[in-house]
Amino acid sequence: MDRILIEGGTVLTMTGRADVFADGVVLVEDGRIAYAGPREGAPAAPEARRIDAAGKIVMPGIVNTHCHAGTTLIRGYGDDLRLMEWLETRVWPAEAKMTAEDVYWGTALAAYEMLSGGITTFLDMYFPADPVARAIQDTGIRGIVARGIIAVGGPSEALSRLEESREAFHRWNGKAGGRITFMVGPHAPYTCPPDTLLACAELADELGIGIHIHLSETAGEVEEARRQWGKTPIRHVYDLGLMKGRRVVAAHCVHADDDDIAILAETGTGVCHCPVSNLKLASGRTPVSKMRRRGVAVGFGTDGASSENMLHILGSEMRIGAIQAKELEGDPALFTSYDALSMATIEAARVLGMEAEIGSLEPGKRADIILIDTERPHLTPNHDIFALVAYSALPSDVAMTMVDGRIVYENGQLTQADGKEILARVREAAARVVQA
């Protein structure tokens, strides 16, 4: 039996505000958590590999609920443009030049960046599916692959994308020790007509998986939906039956009204909140607290590096998202640092339907664990550990990242892949895809 004992750190299990254990212990056995709590009462493990976590916070890996990982290749290309102008003049033309190998290296770079900042799981919507899955396998991160489906080219385009999704699922789902799983990925109602959305629902049912989709990201999108269908995008998708009886993960939902929020709550739809991307693109402010009061699971997402620029939740989405939620409510007490940390861990896991496996340090769950080094000026002193992580911690404070009980990032380096090669390959590919 492979056993690892992490001891001497401050353990945040994320099972409740009171569950903070100074000089705590986490015991990992065969990739799963066997114990997490105070040293007193911890099982003896004399033969375990020991990791000294003194001066560090030990907590669940962070969960990124929405990403377009391959867009690391076009990070910083087309900033300061409006959403549709940005997509039509920069993103889509550059993506048309990307090869499958480019997507592999772009996704590998995204995984490198995420692991370095404590993200252990991400939900990706990109294309094609195979290089994304291969990059997940090779870097050691946990990922959900949703092959982006756009049907603007007509029904035949949608059918080919659906078939690719089906084939990739059968090749990759459950591989890499279960780290690779799938969802069906219709891009949005404005790029997928009703027949395509219904075909996506059929495929999801056939494969027994969920659906990932963008909904109500901009005011213009909602206005166009009302003009075309006489309803919001969320109501449109609901009326089509897409959200009934299956796991749906909806990105953004910035302009969700009260009726939309009621639909999200009724259907158990999870929401991916990407505050920095939404602010940068001037898309608006998602009514996060209102959703959470109605019982909607909301988790932080980074969106793609082409819009957010950084694939980090520590020091970025978590901090800005918490501040934005306070401002939107007009009351700083209505959204707390613990709320923010929950949305990065256990609540984000609920968004993905993975809360039984990840998101907290509990016996039986997968050992996705990070260590944050608190011996830093900006993390001193420590009056409130949740506030310390939510408002002060930076990605560079992550000392170690573990997925399935395997250390995949430590001392600034990936342990399962060659970080220097990833950087070199991405620079080469990026120079080619953005050429005029």
pLDDT value of position 427? 97
Whether residue 239 lies inside any domain: the answer is: yes
CATH number of residue 17's parent domain: 2.30.40.10
Whether residue 393 lies inside any domain: the answer is: yes
Whether residue 421 lies inside any domain: the answer is: no
Whether residue 112 lies inside any domain: the answer is: yes
Same domain, 321 and 205: yes
Whether residue 67 lies inside any domain: the answer is: yes
Same domain, 125 and 181: yes
CB 62 within 8 A of CB 118: yes
pLDDT digits (tens, 9 = 90+) for 333-347: 999 999 999 999 999
Same domain, 164 and 262: yes
- Boundary of a domain, candidates 352, 379, 405: 352
Whether residue 382 lies inside any domain: the answer is: yes
Whether residue 420 lies inside any domain: the answer is: no
Same domain, 86 and 16: no
pLDDT value of position 78? 83
Q: In which domain, by residue range, is 11 found?
A: 3-61+367-414
Same domain, 330 and 381: no
Measured at the alpha carbon of residue 130, what is the angle toward residues 127 and 134, in degrees to the nearest 5? Answer: 120
Contacts of the segment 76-81: beta carbons below 8 A, 24+ positions apart? 76/309, 77/306, 77/434, 78/306, 79/280, 79/309
Give the single-character DSSP code of 366. Answer: B
pLDDT value of position 84? 80
Give the single-character DSSP code of 44. Answer: P
Tell me whether strands 398-403 and 369-373 are parallel, antiparallel or unpaired: antiparallel
Known binding-site residues equal 66, 68, 95, 147, 187, 214, 217, 303
pLDDT value of position 156? 79
Same domain, 56 and 89: no
Same domain, 113 and 39: no
Same domain, 53 and 131: no
Find the DSSP H helices in 317-403.
318-329, 337-344, 346-352, 385-387
Known binding-site residues for substrate equal 95, 147, 187, 217, 303
Residue that has been written with the tokens 């907590």 in this structure: 59
Tokens of 77: 């290309």
CATH number of residue 267's parent domain: 3.20.20.140
pLDDT value of position 83? 77
Whether residue 241 lies inside any domain: the answer is: yes
Known binding-site residues for Zn(2+) equal 66, 68, 214, 303
Number of other CB atoms surrounding residue 425 within 10 Å = 18
Same domain, 77 and 102: yes
Cα–Cα distance, 72 to 70 (Å, whole number): 5
Tokens of 336: 């707390």
pLDDT value of position 436? 56
Same domain, 44 and 187: no
pLDDT value of position 408? 98
Number of other CB atoms surrounding residue 323 within 10 Å = 16
Cα–Cα distance, 145 to 131 (Å, whole number): 10
Same domain, 74 and 56: no
- Cα dihedral 364, 370, 371, 372, rounded to 10, equals -140
Collect the ranges in the chain with pLDDT lower than 70: 1, 436
The total of structural domains in the chain comes to 2
pLDDT value of position 148? 96
pLDDT digits (tens, 9 = 90+) for 270-323: 999 999 999 998 999 999 999 999 999 999 999 999 989 999 999 999 999 999
Tokens of 21: 């254990």
Query: In what side-by-side order are the strands of the sheet with 142-149?
Result: 62-67, 119-126, 142-149, 180-186, 210-215, 248-252, 270-273, 298-300
Same domain, 37 and 27: yes
Give the single-character DSSP code of 422. Answer: H
